[in-house]
Structures are given as structure tokens and as C-alpha cells.
Chains A and B, each alone.
Chain A
Amino acid sequence: MPQEFSPLQVLDWTPSADLTPVGEVVLVVLDVAPGPDHDAQVARVEALVAGCRDAGVPVVFARTMTGPAASVPAAPGLADRPEEYVVRRHRHSAFYGTELDLVVHGYGAQTVLLAGGTTDVSVHYSLVDAHQLDHHIRCVADLVTGTNPELHEAALRAIKYLQRDALVTTAAVETWLAGRRTPEEQTA
């Protein structure tokens, strides 16, 4: 049976206040899952999307499919712009049966930053695919919602097991965005 005290066990899954991305970053936005704090959570994801757009970080939306119908954006700021990609997710992982990996490569990114979604389903299973596809993964731990608190914590532990730097706070992303040069400065 599994060891009671394993050196592999994740003992601390506190999200980091430092994003430490590798290479370029793409923000992947999943549908904000139902939860007690849903409207406020939507507003926080909206703010993150706005911050990434302002800093020139590409944003990709993964819409959940129910048969032929895609989920609708939960707020105006979560609607895709003409130049942005939308992938249509029929399964747990946003990479499965979609063009998401191609898009991440197209942007020349090595780090997949993820917000929104169900921690123990779409978030965990999208991130394990990103991990297996050799991307660096970062999950905004306060912008994902678990099926319940127990599964939320379990999934955060599993994500931390995959990559030790994977869990970050919204503040970590904001700090990193503030320190980035604007698109204008980058081309200057």
C-alpha cells in the first residue's frame, strides 16, 4: 500500500506570490465554474483578462460545448476579440480535440497561465495535458473553483505535484504584468 510518509507527498500547496514564467506566456481562460462567489469571481477573471490584454499577453478562451452549442461569455470582458482565439472544449481537457496546443506554439509561448474553470476537472486535466505537452504551467489558484472544497484542495495538490512552481496568486500575475514592458515599449 502507499507509504504513509512519502517523499513525493505535496505538503504545502500555498500559491506563490511570484509568477516566474518561462519564455512567453499565454493566458487560457476557462468558463468560471458555479460557486458561492460566482459573480465576484467572474469580475476578477475579467480584470485579469483586461490586464493581460493591456500588457500584450495573448488571451485564449476555452468555451464549454454542450452538443453543438458553445457556452456564452459570462461578462462583456470575457467576450473574445476578433484577433483572439476561441477553442471549443467537448471534454475535460481544453487541449483534447482542440487547436489549443497549436495556438500556444503559434504565439511562441512556453508557459500556459490558466484561470477560470473547475479546479478538479477542466483546470487539473487541461494543465496535465499542457504539462505532458512540455509547457510550463501556472494556475491562478484563487481564480479557479472546485466541485467542493475537498476536491479543490486535492486538485491543487495534484497540480503542484506536476510542477512545483505551478500555483500562483492573482497578485503574482498583477505584479508580473506591472513589471512587463507595454507592447509599445517592446517594439520601441
Chain B
Amino acid sequence: MNTQGRTALVVVDFQGGDLSSSTSAYATDQLEKAKAIVAGCRAADLPVVWIQEVHKPHLTDMGRELDGSEGQHCIEGWADTEIAHGLDPLPTEHHVRKRRYSSFFATELDIVLKQYAVDSLVLIGGFTDICILYTAMDADQRDFRISVVSDVVSGSSRQAHDDALLMIAQLQDGALVTSEEVLAWLAPAEGAVSA
């Protein structure tokens, strides 16, 4: 794990509401892995911060997001704008709404992370090549250590997903981790710690 000091889990745009539909960006096993990582962080008393991209139906806050590949997305009131069912933020956890790709852009995330005094972030969610990459980039610019869980992120396409993993690896050595590594780090096996 690419961590130092205290670590927080940031769940970025793990949205889509009911993920059982075939159009979901996330595979079924990714939701299960995400649930396990969230539960593991809570059990280890690590802060969990939820990020949700949301735009008003009148699109005032859409910026330039319709000038590229994406159409309208994450509109308030749409069922698939909701955080994935089964991932249930607790009332005690921060739930940050954002209008842009980076979770740090025009949000309170930096303030929240300072309050938690964390130095390192574990990132899961999507898209790998958009909100994960640009959140990782901004976290790197703010001097956080980043661990992106490569099997619990989903891209806008296979190629863009692969491109983004290369770029994230360029940001920090060791920035790519697996869910298996995260779970082992959260709950070391009996004996491993006392050895």
C-alpha cells in the first residue's frame, strides 16, 4: 500500500442506483468488493468520504462537460445518479457533492481531509479515466499519497481505463493496488502482526 500517516477511503462517483441492470458501469463483483473495503475501513476506524457527481436538470452547473464524449449525466432526480444501492453512506460520514470531474474541484473535500488529518487516500469508483484520474491528480498536487484500487474502478471504455491506469502509475510509484491488498492491509491475518 502506498500510504503514510493516516488514511481515508474516498469513494468517487460509485453511482448508478440499482446496479443489477445490465447497463451498469460496475460489475457485480466490484460492488461486493467496494462493500467489503468500506466495511473494512469502518472496522479499522478509517474515515470514509463519499463523492457524488450531480448536476441540476437546468444544466447551469454543467460547464463544458457536454463539449466532449459525454452526454447529459448525473442529473439530479435520475435513478442512476444515486450512489449504488448496497453502498450506504452513514449519517456520520461526509457526503460531498461535486459538479466537475475532480473531487477536489470547488468542493469541501480538502477541508474534510484536513479535519481528519489524513495524509493518504484510497480511491475506488469511476470513471477510472475521468473522476478517479483527475481526483488522483489533484490529490497528488496536494501532496497526498494515493492508492487506486485497480479492480474496483471502472472506465468510460476499456482503452481509456487502461490509459488511465498507466497515467496513475506515473503520478506515484505504487499508486496502483488491488482489493486483495487493501483488505489484507486493513485486517492483517492472525499471527502476521505478532510475528
A83 within 8 A of B: no
Contact status A158-B64, CB under 8 Å? no
Which of B9-17, B98-106, B184-192 binds A? B98-106
- What separation, in Å, do the CA atoms of A5 and B160 have in the docked complex? 11
Name the B residues within 8 Å of A132 (CB-CB).
Answer: 63-64, 100-102, 105, 134
B contact face: mostly helix, strand, loop, or mixed: helix
B68 within 8 A of A: yes
Q: How far is the CB of B60 from chain A (nearest CB, A)?
A: 11
**Interface residue from A125, A134, A147 paired with B137 (Cβ < 8 Å):** A125
- What separation, in Å, do the CA atoms of A96 and B142 have in the docked complex? 10
**Interface residue from A3, A92, A134, A157 paired with B64 (Cβ < 8 Å):** A134
- What separation, in Å, do the CA atoms of A130 and B155 have in the docked complex? 22
**Interface residue from A131, A150, A162 paired with B166 (Cβ < 8 Å):** A150
Q: In chain B, what residue has the closest Cβ to A9?
A: B157
- What separation, in Å, do the CA atoms of A131 and B69 have in the docked complex? 13
Contact status B158-A128, CB under 8 Å? no
Instruction: Report the 10 A-B pairs with minimum CB-CB distance, sorted nearest first.
Output: A9-B157, A6-B157, A154-B163, A2-B155, A91-B141, A8-B156, A132-B100, A2-B161, A163-B67, A2-B158
Chain A residues in contact with chain B, CB under 8 A?
A: 1-6, 8-10, 91-93, 96-97, 120-121, 124-125, 128, 131-132, 134-137, 147, 150-151, 154-155, 157-158, 160-166
Chain B residues in contact with chain A, CB under 8 A?
A: 25, 27, 30, 63-64, 67-70, 100-102, 105, 128-130, 133-134, 137-138, 140-141, 154-161, 163-164, 166-167, 170
Task: List 18 additional A-B contacts (Cβ < 8 Å) besides A2-B155, A96-B141.
Answer: A2-B154, A3-B158, A9-B159, A10-B69, A124-B167, A131-B63, A132-B105, A132-B134, A136-B64, A150-B166, A154-B166, A155-B163, A158-B129, A158-B160, A158-B163, A158-B164, A160-B69, A163-B68
